[in-house]
Structure 1
Amino acid sequence: MLEKKIKVLICDDHDIVCQGLVNIVSDEPDMEIVGCATNLDSALTLIKKLNPDVVLADIRLGDESGFDLIKQSCQAGFEIPFIMITGFHNEFYLSKAIENGAAGLLSKESPGRVIVNSIRLTFDGHSVWPMELLKNTYDSLAISHYSSTTSIDTAMAIPNFTPREKEIIKFLLKGNTNKAIAHELGLSDVTVKKSLKNIMNKLHVDNRMKLAMVISRLSLE
């Protein structure tokens, strides 16, 4: 029995970029292109119609933003990993991608193997970020997340996690996906997802990347 292919949607306002990405992804036996969009409205329409597994979206979609596409997709009830692609590879766009809940950021000059491996990783629940930019962005976001309300020392006080939530956090720190955590703990995917939402609420974060930044500073001993 053939395994289900990863359904990929591409969103870019430049036809030549769309075609280049189509050529790269179409060569992979475990992936299929389900559509290409050149603006936010058409991208959202295709997301609702096709329910892709992963979306590759340009940060700039003409006069619109790929980040707005993430927001509107979430508002429509779709929890899809978005990999943002850009010709402007810098810490500003990395921080914006993290803040808006993207699953990764790639340069348009990334080799094909990097692009397809990133699709596989995000499909499996991981995030993909350029390591050369991540350290400074990680530190600045972690500090700014708390500085507006309280000191870092105060913010690092551990909330009252349940035993199950503590177990899930420990697996998160090891880089496990939701499916892997569910398997290890004998839980359903829905239960793990619900527990993660509770953990994020307790830590006052709104996406998985921010959650990873915060829990990496916690001691659950």
Structure 2
Amino acid sequence: MLNNSINILVLDDHPLVCAAIQNLVSSISFVNKVLTSTDSKKAFDIIKVASIDLLILDVNLGDNDGFDFYRRIKSHGYKGKVLFISANDSQLYSNTAFNLGANGYICKSEDMSLIKESLEGIMNGYTFFKFNDNSGKFKSKITLSNRETIVFNYLIQGRTNIEIANMLSLSTKTISTYKRRIFDKYKVNNIVDLIKINESSV
């Protein structure tokens, strides 16, 4: 678990979204301060002068493009973590965020409480992205919900059901249900095969 407090910046061109996320993550024990901005230029200025550990960033900004903004702050020395959010549940967007070196991608249509779970994982070194199978082994694309993706990431890291349950404050029975759904979607019967599929898709 995290012992140090972190500072978060939320950048979204919708004030209500900023306020909702700020209210949501402010209650997390390891969060020190949550700043918000609806303007990318102001956000850039904040990053230059403030110590921002995590940026929660919308892909589509009214005055800018989220991906371009991330490239720009990285080129100016930003070393913090980034979680992209978007109203578009797009595999292309998720892949782009991953390829840029972001730490996660979450669709706004998902339960917003998942952001809290994702943040804890991201600050502990994990990444959170939806996985589609492109190997040709499966005729249809495999898409995991964000909660399934969180469990997926912990499973392929070798975490046990009990460990995952404790980290997400869920019952082991609930984790077993998510695990079975993931296995069913990928048509596997064990973690080893799941890891092999994940490695082959990277």
Contact kept, 8 Å, 2:105 with 2:128, in 1: the verdict is yes
Alignment of 1:1-221 (within 5 A): 3-130=3-130, 134-136=131-133, 175=157, 216=199
What is the CA distance between 1:175 and its match in structure 2?
4.1
Instruction: Report how many aligned residue pairs link the two structures.
Output: 146
Measured against aligned partners, the alpha-carbon deviations of 1:56-94 in whole angstroms (never above 9, x if no partner) come to 000011131111121111111122211100000121211
Contact kept, 8 Å, 1:25 with 1:33, in 2: the verdict is no
- Please tell me the residue identity of whatever aligns with 1:121: G
What is the CA distance between 1:31 and its match in structure 2?
1.2
Distance 1:107 1:216 in 2: 24
Structure 1 residues 41 and 136: CA distance shift in structure 2, 3 A: farther
Query: Tell me, what secondary structure is at the counterpart of 2:129?
Result: coil
Distance 1:3 1:100 in 2: 28
| Larger radius of gyration between Structure 1 and Structure 2 | 1
Q: What's the TM-score once normalised by structure 2's chain length?
A: 0.63
Query: Tell me, what secondary structure is at the counterpart of 1:135?
Result: coil
Distance 1:72 1:123 in 2: 22
Query: Which structure 1 residue ranges, 5 or more long, are not aligned?
Result: 141-173, 177-214
Query: Tell me, what secondary structure is at the counterpart of 1:3?
Result: coil
Distance 1:135 1:103 in 2: 17
1:200 equivalent in structure 2: none
Structure 1 residues 88 and 112: CA distance shift in structure 2, 3 A: closer
Contact kept, 8 Å, 2:11 with 2:18, in 1: the verdict is yes
What is the CA distance between 1:28 and its match in structure 2?
1.7
What is the CA distance between 1:3 and its match in structure 2?
3.5
- Please tell me the residue identity of whatever aligns with 2:45: T
Identity over aligned residues, as a percent?
Answer: 25
Distance 1:24 1:76 in 2: 29
Structure 1 or 2: larger helix share?
1
Distance 1:107 1:32 in 2: 25
Q: What's the TM-score once normalised by structure 1's chain length?
A: 0.58
Query: Tell me, what secondary structure is at the counterpart of 1:56?
Result: strand
Distance 1:3 1:127 in 2: 19
Query: Tell me, what secondary structure is at the counterpart of 1:136?
Result: coil
Higher mean Cα deviation, 52-61 or 26-35? 26-35
1:170 equivalent in structure 2: none
Query: Which structure 2 residue ranges, 5 or more long, are not aligned?
Result: 137-155, 159-197
Measured against aligned partners, the alpha-carbon deviations of 1:5-31 in whole angstroms (never above 9, x if no partner) come to 121110000000000101101122221
- Please tell me the residue identity of whatever aligns with 1:128: F
Query: Tell me, what secondary structure is at the counterpart of 2:113?
Result: helix
Please give the root-mean-square deviation of Cα atoms over the aligned residues, in Å: 3.0
- Please tell me the residue identity of whatever aligns with 1:99: N
